[in-house]
Structure 1
Amino acid sequence: MPAEINHSAKFYDVFNGDADGICALHQLRLVQHRNAELITGAKRDIDLLSRFESQTGDCLTVLDISLDSNIAALRKHLAAGAEITYFDHHNAALAFEHENLHLHCDMAADVCSSILVNRYLRGQHWQWAVVAAYGDNLPVVATAMASQAGLKELQRKQLQELGTLLNYNAYGESVDDLHFHPAALYEAVHEYADPFEFFNNAGQFDFLCSAYANDMAFMQGLRAYSQSASTSVYILPPQAWARRVSGILANQLTQDQPGKSFAVLTAKPDASYVVSVRSGNAERYPASEFCAVFATGGGRRGAGGINNLPESEVDSFVQAFIAYFEKMEKPQLSLP
């Protein structure tokens, strides 16, 4: 006898609000059309699974948020009877098997969640994976994908600019700092199957171009707070423009000086700092491993972050950062 259908079942699309999360979901929904409730936020809003409750028969698609950071909520949704498809490239040391969990995780330094979705869809909308890879600071991977597919240099640069701007929009203390709520930006992107059409025609793209230029103008004359042979640390003021460019600055520094590691500390209104870390040698010295030493830290091998670094720990952070990435000894910190 066939199982009874739960007609009240709901669909949820849960995704990081950055370029990778948006492009990953966009690829999926271009192929698998679904009317789902969107759960997202600013780039560092990663505990998204705890924001809602599910029930038997609900279907959750989760993209580009750390499994380890959502482990309790993930188990709760599964216990409630939800079916979950999960794509991610962040820390998944706590991953487990469950009949209702379909996990697509790869923590390699040269992948992002959109690349995992691209593999799953067998390249049906690969150009959006290129956009995401550029936005997620994987320019070598993105350029290789684009070149192998025959894109010209101008086209590659357009996809790179699009990825950069989608990622730029996600940075902020909260969605109030952002120019577009990530759910709204995703819906705008989803109107276009072709990224070049979005690039040429979308008003959101033109707005982000102008806003990005205005924010980056504040960066003129910025100097490093601390430098060593293999590291640099920058500290930005407690301003909305600084919160929006912090991740872009970290990515740009890495691209301009490959092999060097960077930390960008941005002051928060409560006098603590949010930190973006980029590793110059992701295989030997993962950024995620360094950031995980701190109570609110995590990330992936090439890029990590700390959501709340107390002002009193800035000096010890800088010392530990230099020690770790100068290939000395791993940090031994006494943190609250």
Structure 2
Amino acid sequence: MNYDIFNGDADGIISLLQLRLANPIESELVTGVKRDINLLSKLVDKVELAKGDKLTVLDISMEKNQAGLVCALDGEIDVFYADHHRTGDIAVSKHLDAHIDLDANTCTALIVDGVLNGEYHYWAITAAYGDNLIAKGDQLSKVAGLPVEQSEQLKELGTLINYNGYGAVVEDLHFHPAKLYMALLKYPSPFDVIADNSSPFYRLQSAYQEDMDNALAIQAEYRSDVVSAFELPNEPWARRISGVYGNQLANQNPNSAHAVLTENRDGTYTASLRAPLSNKQGAGDICSQFETGGGRAAAAGINALPKEQIADFIKAVEAFYHVGPTSAGKDF
């Protein structure tokens, strides 16, 4: 049995898309909302894997899935693992084919693009844009000879696929990530998606604009020289838009960190942290200080931040990026 295990965001979906366009196989799809990252460990707990099974693991932190990975390798299961998040210790095993790059200016789809020698390069560029690697996407588009209009199309498609992955549960999403992946699999090029008026692109485009309009009406709850924090309500639209909204804020003010705090049903908060684009480091380290936190240097998050810890979270961000005097907003 083949298992394809992938993050439900643009990077995870497009990483698998490239691999399966290049090498179609029948597989069991294992995915979920963007923040559902313990996918490998959950699979190992749920399914009794057997010799001969093969696992493809994409865009989920090896550090967060150490138990599942070790169990699979101990069972002599072959694992292809591509990722750009924190790893912890990387196991040494003849059954592990690991492609890891922690550089802040790469993503899993670009790693896969290298493995495939650029066979589906336009899809990789789309994923880079979706992962908010805008400068990287622009650079790759230019090298590929794409006109500005086409690079903007890839940017919008990547953003929309990424937007679809955000939510507390899959019911918050417009498409289950596995269904979105399957819908996109019939398009060898991202430009084919945009050319098809019946593709998911157009449904996501309309929904995205409505959710973003809601977010843009929100004022900052806290602002200093190094960080701005925004609080979104416990609503499906807020959970859907939180990540791409954080990306947009980061692009608008590249010298500041940005935190988007979305209230969960239980009164805790989902925190999305974007490091300053001019200093793409530290986000994962900051969020990992909190129990349900993790991520990478440029972008990270906390799944369930207690309200009473929000002030500590903001202080941690301030301390890392060198606190300046508060110029507006309030203390949490």
Please, what TM-score do these two structures have when normalized by structure 1?
0.92
Correspondence for 1:61: 56
Task: Report the equivalent of 2:237.
Answer: 241
Deviations 1:84-132 (A, max 9, x none): 0000000013212111000000000000000000001111111011100
Q: Which residue does 1:142 correspond to in 2?
A: 137
Q: How does 1:205-244 map to 2 (within 5 A)?
A: 205-244=201-240
Matched to 1:273, the amino acid is Y
1:284 shift after superposition? 7.1
2:27 corresponding residue in structure 1 = 36
Name the residue aligned to 2:317: 321
On the 8 A contact 1:273/1:307 being kept in 2, the answer is: yes
- Could you report, residue by residue, the CA deviation over 1:149-183 in whole angstroms, capped at 9, with x for unpaired residues? 10000000000000000000000001010000000
The corresponding residue for 1:76 is 71
Runs (4 or more) in structure 1 with deviation over 4 Å come to 281-284
Alignment correspondent of 2:284: 288
1:327 deviation in Å? 5.9
Partners of 1:167 and 1:141 lie apart in 2 by 16
Candidates 195, 214, 223, aligned match of 1:200:
195
Q: Give distance in 2, aligned partners of 1:88 and 1:291.
A: 19
Paired amino acid for 1:117: V
Report the more deviating stretch, 259-268 or 279-288: 279-288
SS of 2:123's partner is helix
Assess, with a 3 A threshold, how the Cα gap between structure 1 residues 261 and 305 changes in structure 2: closer, same or farther. same
> Residues 267-318 of structure 1: CA distance to partner in whole angstroms, max 9, x if unpaired?
0010000110011167674211111111111101100111110111112222
* Mapping for residues 132-171 of structure 1, pairs under 5 Å: 132-171=127-166
Three-state SS of the structure 2 residue aligned to 1:218 is helix
Q: In 2, distance between residues paired with 1:327 and 1:47?
A: 33
% identity of equivalent residues:
43
Aligned AA for 1:208? L
Answer whether contact 2:247 2:274 (CA < 8 A) is retained.
yes
Cα distance in 2, alignment partners of residues 257 and 282 from structure 1: 9
Unmatched 5+ residue regions in structure 1?
1-9, 329-336
Query: How many residues align structurally?
Result: 319
Residues 265/204 of structure 1: CA separation in 2 closer, same or farther (3 Å cut): same
Q: With the length of structure 2 as denominator, give the TM-score of the two structures.
A: 0.93
AA matched with 1:42: V
CA drift of 1:320 comes to 2.0
Secondary structure at 2:65's aligned position in 1? helix
SS of aligned partner of 2:14: helix
**Distance in 2, Cα, partners of 1:175 & 1:199:** 24
Alpha-carbon distance between aligned partners in 2 of 1:327 and 1:87, rounded to the nearest angstrom: 36
